[in-house]
Amino acid sequence: MQGGPGADVVGVPRRMVLTLLGGGVAAGLAGCLGDDNESGDQGRDGNPDGESDISDEFVIAAEPLDAPEDVEREWEPLAEWIEEETGVPTEITRVSNPSAAIGALATGQAHASYLSGGGPAWVGWNMYGFETLAVEADEEGLTYYVAAAYTRSDTGIETMRDAKGVDSAHTGDLKGAGMLIPVAYLVQEKLVEFDENDDVTAIRNAVDEYFGNPIVGGGYVGALRALSEGQADIAFGRSTTPEDYCGGDDAEDWCLDVDEYEIVQEFTEVPSHPILAGAETTVGERELLEDALLALNDSTEGREILEEVINVHALESATSGEHLGPYGELIAHLPGIEDHFVDLDD
Q: Domain coordinates of the chain in residue numbers? A: 16-140+272-342, 144-270
Q: What's the chain's Rg over C-alpha atoms?
A: 22
Average pLDDT, the chain: 83
pLDDT tens profile 139-195: 999 999 999 999 999 999 999 999 999 999 999 999 999 999 999 999 999 999 999
Q: Do domains 16-140+272-342 and 144-270 have the same CATH topology?
A: yes
Q: What are the tens digits of pLDDT across the range 275-306?
A: 888 888 889 989 999 999 999 999 999 999 99
As a CATH number, domain 144-270 is 3.40.190.10
pLDDT of amino acid 20: 58
Would you say domain 16-140+272-342 falls under CATH 3.40.190.10?
yes
Q: Name the burial class of residue 270, with classes exposed (0-12), middle (13-18) and buried (19+) by CB atoms within 10 angstroms of its CB.
A: buried
Q: What pLDDT score was predicted for residue 113?
A: 81
State pTM to two decimals: 0.81
